[in-house]
């Protein structure tokens, strides 16, 4: 999972690219980068947060009317600078690209690109596979008379070749700006615009919160399998190319996106409140009797408040968070995750002591965070601790770009009984959202719930799954 931004218009957009990236920093902390076009590509990228990468940024060096930005969260590949985005090639056109998602037929595509085109990848980042596949198909066109339909044909070929989840933004030098999505629309991509004295500037981003911050007006979400091309005269061309059954990642609503973002006309904060309210029936059926309901800040606040309102149990803020510590879920190794959890949360003793506490979190994956929180609450005098997951049990790895680890590390995959899970993480009881209840909330928006159900919308072979899990285990050990 990553965060992407693309801007094209009539004025210098480099500062907006960087400012926009800071708004979606939560989507990736491993690396950041931008590329602008002004006669040639001007690129800067590196490891770490946006503020670190652009600490000595020279605005004049990156002036341009068209540009891309990226923050990386490395679910696959290394965290080296060579794997940071954007990436660019100079043939058959100047092409620069960023993407959000995960390619699942990585090995097959790598071999094909070498066998057919003698292209040897110098990176383990799968955006290179998409870009080189795009370039290889583009070479087959009449490059001197390249038309919009030719570009759409190329995207269609790429959608056939590249399997997995992806939202991609591409600059085609001297031709225009391209955005496209995978046939299932798994990863989010939204389009906006802003009127200036020079003309309209168009923006694409992983989340609408970028538009709020930069003063853009939301136009719409891109459809599954859609391509949008904005030519040099700022004419917009769009076409749905390879559309399959939509499968929007429900984890965007559960955890990954900011609460003020909107996807498919649904505010993330409101969706989390609905999920919290939906939990109420299962919560009551469990027979637990807490004195207070607290949340694991920050993503679980709306789940906890919705649940508390529905079951008529007081909500309290029982955990203080160090806001200068990053998200533990998207740190690359288990050891780093444990260190982040230890540093970022501290119970508020007067609220916790002597009370039966139901603590709500967005999910339980490995149990690392849950176990540590429960231990802390007991240390600070909680009489009982019940752990409540706003999502169903996570039993299967996400192969589409969210770091769900490997199955043997998932507590709900290893232990089928909730009592056993409660024992392992140290809780008096565990309550999960029911999968059927979550699915009911999205009866009118087809979602990807593969991490809960094992139903992968793109399909999956045993060999591919084993390779992805092997790569993940190797990167965690690195």
The rounded average pLDDT for each run of 10 residues, N- to C-terminus, in the chain (478 residues) is: 94 94 95 95 95 90 96 66 86 94 88 69 79 94 94 98 96 97 98 95 98 98 98 97 96 96 98 98 96 94 98 96 62 55 83 98 93 96 98 94 78 92 97 98 97 94 77 58
CA nearest 345: which of 355, 356, 337, 335?
337
287: Cβ contacts below 8 Å, ≥ 6 apart? none
Distance CA 423, CA 399 (A): 29
Helices then strands, counting H and E runs in the chain, come out as: 18, 23
Distance CA 183, CA 392 (A): 26
- Buried residues in 24-36 as b, exposed as e (16+ CB within 10 A): bbbbbbbbbbbbb
The reported pLDDT for the residue numbered 472 is: 67
Residue that the structure tokens 């980068």 belong to: 33
The tens digit of pLDDT for each residue in 177-201 reads: 999 999 999 999 999 999 999 999 9
DSSP 216: P
- Reduce the secondary structure of 243-260 to three states and give it as a string: CCCCCEECHHHHHHCCCC
Q: What does the block give as tokens for 263?
A: 């996807």
- 3-state percent helix, strand, coil for the chain, nearest multiple of 5: 35, 25, 40
| Options 3.30.70.2190, 3.40.50.300, 2.60.40.420, 3.40.50.2020; CATH of 267-447 | 3.40.50.2020
The tens digit of pLDDT for each residue in 418-443 reads: 999 999 999 999 999 999 999 999 99
DSSP 159: H
Report the predicted TM-score, pTM, of the whole model to 2 decimal places.
0.92
Mean pLDDT score across all residues of the chain: 91
Distance CA 294, CA 366 (A): 21
The reported pLDDT for the residue numbered 477 is: 45
Give one DSSP letter per residue of 6-20, joined into a string.
EEESSS--HHHHHHH
Q: What is the CATH architecture of 3-246? A: 4-Layer Sandwich (3.60)
Tell me the domain boundaries of the chain.
Answer: 3-246, 267-447
Distance CA 396, CA 407 (A): 6
Q: CA angle at residue 278 from 1 to 252, to 5 degrees?
A: 10
Annotated catalytic residues are 2
């Amino acid at each position: 999972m990553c965060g992407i931004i693309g801007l094209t218009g009539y004025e210098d957009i480099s500062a907006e690219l960087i400012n926009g990236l800071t708004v979606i920093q939560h989507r990736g902390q491993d690396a950041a980068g931008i590329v602008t076009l002004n006669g040639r590509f001007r690129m800067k990228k590196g490891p770490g947060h946006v503020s670190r990468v652009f600490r000595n940024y020279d605005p004049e060096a990156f002036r341009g009317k068209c540009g891309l930005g990226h923050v990386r969260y490395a679910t696959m590949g290394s965290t080296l600078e060579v794997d940071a985005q954007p990436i660019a090639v100079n043939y058959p056109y100047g092409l620069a690209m960023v993407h959000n998602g995960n390619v699942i037929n990585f090995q097959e595509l790598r071999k094909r690109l070498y066998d057919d085109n003698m292209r040897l990848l110098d990176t383990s980042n799968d955006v290179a596979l998409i870009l080189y596949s795009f370039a290889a198909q583009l070479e087959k066109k009449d490059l001197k008379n390249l038309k919009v339909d030719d570009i759409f044909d190329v995207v269609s070929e790429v959608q056939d070749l590249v399997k997995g989840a992806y939202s991609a933004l591409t600059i085609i030098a001297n031709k225009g700006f391209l955005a496209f999505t995978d046939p299932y629309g798994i990863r989010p991509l939204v389009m906006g615009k802003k009127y200036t004295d020079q003309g309209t500037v168009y923006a694409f981003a992983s989340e609408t919160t970028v538009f709020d911050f930069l003063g853009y007006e939301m136009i719409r979400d891109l459809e599954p399998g859609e391509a949008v091309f904005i030519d040099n005269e700022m004419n917009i061309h769009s076409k749905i190319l390879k559309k399959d059954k939509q499968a929007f990642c429900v984890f965007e609503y559960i955890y990954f996106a900011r609460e003020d973002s909107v996807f498919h006309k649904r505010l993330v904060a409101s969706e989390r409140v609905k999920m919290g309210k939906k939990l109420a029936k299962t919560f009551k059926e469990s027979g637990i009797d807490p004195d207070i309901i607290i949340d694991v800040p920050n993503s679980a606040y709306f789940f906890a408040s919705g649940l508390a309102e529905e079951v008529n149990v007081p909500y309290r803020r029982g955990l203080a968070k160090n806001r200068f510590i990053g998200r533990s879920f998207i740190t690359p190794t288990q050891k780093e995750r444990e260190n982040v959890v230890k540093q970022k949360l501290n119970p508020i003793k007067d609220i916790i002591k002597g009370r039966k506490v139901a603590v709500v979190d967005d999910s339980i994956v490995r149990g690392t965070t849950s176990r540590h929180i429960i231990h802390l609450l007991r240390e600070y005098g909680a009489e009982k601790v019940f752990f409540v997951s706003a999502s169903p049990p996570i039993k299967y790895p996400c192969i589409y770009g969210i770091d769900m680890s490997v199955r043997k590390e998932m507590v709900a995959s290893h232990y089928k009984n909730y009592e056993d899970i409660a024992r392992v993480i140290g809780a008096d009881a565990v309550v999960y959202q029911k999968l059927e209840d979550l699915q009911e909330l999205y009866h009118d928006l087809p979602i990807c719930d593969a991490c809960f159900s094992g139903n992968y919308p793109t399909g999956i072979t045993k060999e591919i799954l084993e390779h992805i899990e092997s790569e993940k285990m190797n990167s965690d050990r690195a």
